[in-house]
Amino acid sequence: MNNDPSSSVHQARKELGARLRNLRKAAGLTGKELAAATGQHFTRISRIENGGQPPTERNIRDWAAACAAEDQLPDLLATAQSIESAYLEWARQARAGMRRLGDLHSIATYQTTTLFRIHEPTVMPGIFQTESYIRQMLLFWYEFLGAPDDADATVAMKVQRTAAALTPAKRIVVVLGEQVLHTRRGTPEEHADQLQHLLELMRLPYVSVGIIPARAQRFAIATVGFWIFDQNAVALETPTAAIKVTRPQEIGRYVAMFERLQAEAAYGHEARQMISAAIAAPPGPMTP
């Protein structure tokens, strides 16, 4: 993935333009004919199709109507709306403080989401993290991103966000990699507290936690974590950026991937045994 946000946006515009061009050609229209049908200058049609100019919502609605492709309108609109906001560079966002990072990981989104589907291969999901775990994570990101220290405000925001998610009105379905249980943040005592907290959350009737054993034969390939918010969006994070997926077809792909990961996970007594074994294991060396 290209880490240059402007390059990412330009490529997405070109892909959207190519889709619109294919619609026009499938309808048997020339650029000038489509321009006349939609009340635009034909040079604008060319710029949109080549990714040089983003189409407005009105442009897309008129385009789909002229090409008798209204069935593709929801996906086209979702694609266009996501292009400018899909890629948020951490370094830029962090200038305003860590508590403002993550478009989808906001209190408002957690309040409105009713079904969380979460896959994390190496990191404890945010809504499961203890305060100690949160602060250990922040220590790294403040230094790595050069962000101003707003740890207390960030912790308070995350606690409020967790409270919005962990309610009986929600459904939280999580698949963890076993490595999450062995990746220690802080002291051995803090790590044990985090795992005990996980065990307590697993007792909640609206929380489901599956753990994929490290030695299990794997079939699905999902090397990064992702969160699915209802059927509305998917959030992913890289070391340098947050990525938001809103295209219905792509969301469906992530749902299918999540279901495959669920099939590989252990649940119930077996999952709790894995956590208890991690708590009982002697701590490894802690390198600075």
More confident residue, 123 or 149: 123
The full set of domains in the chain, from first to last, is 5-83 (1.10.260.40), 87-280 (3.30.870)
Task: State the Cα–Cα distance between residues 125 and 211, nearest whole angstrom.
Answer: 13
| Arithmetic mean of pLDDT, 86-112 | 64
- pLDDT, residue 6, reads 43
Lowest mean pLDDT among 106-115, 223-232, 239-248, 253-262: 239-248
Give the chain as a 3 state SS string. CCCCHHHHHHHHHHHHHHHHHHHHHHCCCCHHHHHHHHCCCHHHHHHHHCCCCCCCHHHHHHHHHHCCCHHHHHHHHHHHHHHCCCEEEHHHHHHHCHHHCCCCCCHHHHHHCCEEEEEECCCCCHHHCCHHHHHHHHHHHHHHHCCCCCHHHHHHHHHHHHHHHCCCCCEEEEEEECHHHHCCCCCHHHHHHHHHHHHHHHCCCCEEEEEECCCCCCCCCCCCCEEEECCCEEEEECCCEEEEECCHHHHHHHHHHHHHHHHHCECHHHHHHHHHHHHHCCCCCCCC
Structure tokens at 202: 């697993």
Residue 245 banded pLDDT, cuts 50, 70, 90: confident
User: pLDDT tens across 49-83, in order?
Assistant: 998 888 989 999 999 999 999 999 998 998 887 76
- pLDDT, residue 88, reads 57
In a 13 Å sphere around the CA of 123, the CA atoms on its Cβ side amount to 16
pTM: 0.71
Question: Would the pLDDT of 270 be above 50?
Answer: yes
Burial readout 123-132 (b: 16 or more C-beta within 10 A, e: otherwise): bbbbbbbbeb
Average pLDDT, the chain: 87
User: pLDDT tens across 13-34, in order?
Assistant: 888 999 999 999 999 999 999 9
